[in-house]
Structure 1
Amino acid sequence: MKKSYLFAVFILCSIIGLSACKPDQRIETEASSTSVRPPLVNESSSESEAVLPSEETKNAGINDLSFEDTSYNYDVVTGATQTTFGSNPKPLYTYEEKLKKMFWSNQPPLGLMEGNYFANDGYFDVGNKGIVEIITDDTQKIINVEFNEYGAENYYASKYAGANKRLSDYAFFQAQNPRTDTTLVTVVNGITFVEKQMREENRITGNFETVKGSSTTAREGLMAIAAELAEEIKQPSKTKYIGYAEDFGNGLIGRIQLTVTDGTIDSARYDEYFADQPEKIVADHLKKYYRQSKYFSLEYHEETKDDFIAFSDHLTKAIVDQQTLVFENSEFTKHPSFASYQKLIEHIER
């Protein structure tokens, strides 16, 4: 009798347990296979990476630039939105599924850029640092607006404390978070969307549309810090900008940037950007760094023991110290990236 009673209880519990599991199993299946929004990127531009062929870039004139031109289907807002930070929504996709749906670009404008140079920085949100750079031509037309955000020193994800969010793997970190499942956007989407509006509308003040789910950096960072330059950019700047970027055709884009005041080079920067799509990167061991740059990729630093940073820092320091772009028989001229640097400076007259 006792055995029969225990057996009956076991059967009853099993039925209840199985019944309780079914809704969760069904929800997970539906969530992973159901799209909650239209595709982020229009089909016609899904493979887009606005790269001029190398010869066209070389032959283009000053400020005849090529900007990345993927067409997005963003959900946009015209005001501040409530943050989802701290929430813990149920995942709608696996990470692999999300990467197929999401897209953002790290590509710099290609070609030769020259003009008046303006820069401003500030802190926002929880201590993140923002730096905005604006280039205008002689008619005060905006040629480029570029914003970079660096994680606060006490950032909750310590890996990204002080890290460049645009050119490191930070956007992939965001892509892994279920909070981006419904919007399918990262901080890079939010930044580049507003930069494009500022450039095309030739203004840095007033209201701009922002990407839903990525508006804090755009509104509290880029828009606020840029607006402080509104009066300054109406006049020529004593500091001039000279920059050149070129797609090398192997999945890497080289970029040299200089600021010059009264004929003296004030600053120099050299970086190489990995392509937006891994299949465009020829070297297999570099494919995993797509949408990042050699100078700011945290994983690339670790794997190469900061080799590129050391090269770039030595090179750019020598440019400023010696006031020249041409070097021979220096230690850094033996570095593999020096040949790429030499290709770029052929297009800059000094």
Structure 2
Amino acid sequence: MENTYRLKQTFICTAIALAISGCASTAPKGKYVDGSHEVSAKGKKSQIVLAVDVENGNIKEISTKSHNETESLYLNAERLLPKIVANNGHEEIDAVSGATYSSNGILQAINDLPRADGSQPEFQSVGSTQTTQEAFKLKWSVQPQLGLVAGDYYYQEERFRQGHMGSMTVVLDSNNPNDIILAEFNEDGRPNYYTRLYQDVPKRMSEYNFSMGKKKGTAWIQSAVTMEQLMMAEDKLIFEENPNWDPKLANKLKQPNRLKYAGLDIVAGASNSIQQSLVPLSAKIHHQIQTEGSQLKFYQHAEKLVDSNGKWIGQTALLRFVVDSNSKKIVDVYYDEIFADEKKQITDASLKNFYRQSKYQSVMYEEPARIGFNVMMDALEQHIVSGGSMFDIDDLPATGDSGSYAATGFTKLSSSWANYLKQADILYQQMQADGVIETHSKG
């Protein structure tokens, strides 16, 4: 009886193991032949060629070697690659809506990977049950570093390509010039941009990122931030060109990029901006640091705005001054109020749609004072740079209730001025302590 029981027990365990193996909905371990493989399949317009690395039977990495699909559609379809890696195969993965043919080309190519058991299942094309936005929720942050940032200031700007204006800000620790404490890239759309909404509009904290995200599957700012973080982490502003770069692969998200930091997803949505603007401007700044240096000092303070109960309202005040340490005069001013990264963090329901944007850079933001926020702050900059006190602002737009909108254009006091004055006082005290600024009257 004991032997019979053991025999039955062995049979049951084996049957359970076979059932589990046969019914698994996801690919089992040890499915594929180890090594580096090249597989391909037909998309909508071309053959899609993938390079796939397999270790211990599992897919470890997939990259696109070549294709001639519509670029924006393929970038969306290519977002299936990490899902295939996580699933160790294409089974039960749907196509991306709007890129069905390219998606099926990718999935069919993966189906052709050599399998450890020698089998070759027939590929069944799939439809799309989810939209691109549902499948790939884009997330990025526009939040500044809170508190004080101060150091040696470097700035370069130049038009590139068809007239876009790229600008690069770099701040070094004054006590350690090898330490990059701030790197920030921005770009204004060209004056004749085909979408009038983005003509001469800065991209970093405007609606442009949402528009680009829908077209390319990646927001413009995501690539810029990736580069900035790399520069600060490595204290490095220049990169050697990759001699193996193939121009035909210019916009492929998973391909080795133009520079040697391959593996970073920096090209989709901002490929031309990175190659033609950020990298050259950073190289110019590097040269300036190595040769003439800078007499300009950078001071920034950012602070979360709170209500009467001390709760963050989903807006962050940011003020920057650039001071000439020789003349002790302010030569550049930028004040902005930046909205939270998530709608739910913004307490004012009328402002929730401006998440991941700022009052100055947003195209659609409406200032309650009945004048453009950017107009107010451009007037502030002109006032201070021309020699006015940073505190004596009574003659600037929306600093008081001026009566009839029809007569004057200004009807309400902007609450932003009180926020600005608080940040200005903080920076003024620091600049005075450092001895880099002349006296500004507080009235």
TM-score by length of 1: 0.68
In 2, distance between residues paired with 1:84 and 1:304?
43
Aligned residue among 292, 299, 304 for 2:364: 299
**How much does 1:254 deviate?**
0.7
**How much does 1:88 deviate?**
10
Aligned residue among 121, 129, 139 for 1:103: 139
**How much does 1:116 deviate?**
1.0
Question: 1:155 aligns to what SS in structure 2?
Answer: coil
Question: Which has the larger share of helix?
Answer: 1
1:114-157: CA deviation from partner (whole Å, max 9, x where unpaired): 11111111233333210001111222121101110111222232
Task: Number of aligned residue pairs: give it.
Answer: 267
1:85-119: CA deviation from partner (whole Å, max 9, x where unpaired): 69898256547526x71101111222111111111
1:205 partnered with 2:192: no
Q: Hey, what does 2:320 align to over in structure 1? A: 257
In 2, distance between residues paired with 1:231 and 1:83?
39
Unaligned runs of 5+ in 1: 1-74
Question: 1:260 aligns to what SS in structure 2?
Answer: strand
Unaligned runs of 5+ in 2: 1-61, 77-97, 100-127, 240-258, 306-311, 401-413, 433-443
Q: Hey, what does 2:275 align to over in structure 1? A: 219
Over the matched positions of the two proteins, sequence identity in percent amounts to 28
Question: 2:313 aligns to what SS in structure 1?
Answer: coil
Question: 1:296 aligns to what SS in structure 2?
Answer: coil
Judge conservation of contact 1:198–1:204 (CA < 8 Å) in 2: yes
1:290-347: CA deviation from partner (whole Å, max 9, x where unpaired): 1111011111159975431232122222222344322264454332111111221232
Q: Hey, what does 1:27 align to over in structure 2? A: none
Question: 1:294 aligns to what SS in structure 2?
Answer: coil
Q: Which stretch has the larger CA shift, 238-247 or 318-327?
A: 318-327
Distance 1:157 1:121, change over 3 A: same
1:173 partnered with 2:211: yes
TM-score by length of 2: 0.55
Judge conservation of contact 1:128–1:150 (CA < 8 Å) in 2: yes
In 1, distance between residues paired with 2:156 and 2:419?
30
Q: Which stretch has the larger CA shift, 277-286 or 89-98?
A: 89-98
In 2, distance between residues paired with 1:76 and 1:320?
51
In 2, distance between residues paired with 1:302 and 1:345?
21
Question: Which has the larger share of strand?
Answer: 2
Q: Hey, what does 2:302 align to over in structure 1? A: 245
Q: Hey, what does 2:170 align to over in structure 1? A: 134
Question: 1:144 aligns to what SS in structure 2?
Answer: strand
Amino acid at match of 2:151: G
Judge conservation of contact 1:264–1:323 (CA < 8 Å) in 2: no
In 2, distance between residues paired with 1:258 and 1:280?
28
Judge conservation of contact 2:213–2:220 (CA < 8 Å) in 1: no
Instruction: Note the 1:71-150 alignment, pairs <5 A.
Output: 84=71, 90-91=98-99, 93-94=130-131, 97=134, 101-138=137-174, 139-140=176-177, 141-150=179-188
In 1, distance between residues paired with 2:323 and 2:192?
34
Instruction: Note the 1:59-70 alignment, pairs <5 A.
Output: none
Q: Hey, what does 2:349 align to over in structure 1? A: 284
1:237-281: CA deviation from partner (whole Å, max 9, x where unpaired): 111111111111211111111111120111111111111111111
Question: 1:345 aligns to what SS in structure 2?
Answer: helix
Higher RCO structure (Cα 8 Å, ≥6 apart): 1
1:152 partnered with 2:217: no
1:208-263: CA deviation from partner (whole Å, max 9, x where unpaired): 44424233322222112111111212364111111111111211111111111120
| TM-align CA RMSD | 2.9
In 2, distance between residues paired with 1:76 and 1:279?
36
Q: Hey, what does 1:327 align to over in structure 2? A: 392
